[in-house]
Amino acid sequence: MQWSAAPYGGFSTGVPWIEVNPNYSKVNAEAAIRDEKSIWNHYRKLIALRKTHPLIVYGEYGSWLDQHPNVFVYTRTIDSDDQRNH
């Protein structure tokens, strides 16, 4: 795992037995955390949405236009008594 732009990707202070990818100075966890458009930050936002909206976790999935080759349409619904905010 390339943790940072430090030598050996911040993984070790010793010489690792497997070479570090040459892109470690640009592609690493530390850089991803700082980049608002990174996959890491994208998943952070998705997790926050999931924690904020019970519909995402408990909502019932309903599919529409299943036979349409170019469209993916669905609904998610939740009973107001089934919010599960406990």
How many of the other CB atoms lie within 10 Å of CB of 40?
A: 13
3-class state of residue 9 by DSSP: helix
In terms of C-beta density within 10 A (0-12 exposed, 13-18 middle, 19 or more buried), how is residue 24 classed? buried
The whole-model pTM stands at 0.66
pLDDT given at position 79: 85
Query: Domain residues of the chain, as ranges?
Result: 1-52, 54-86
Lookup result for tokens 């892109």: 23
Share of the chain above pLDDT 70, in %: 92
Condensed to tens digits (0 to 9), the pLDDT of residues 3-44 reads 999 999 998 889 989 999 999 999 999 999 999 999 999 999
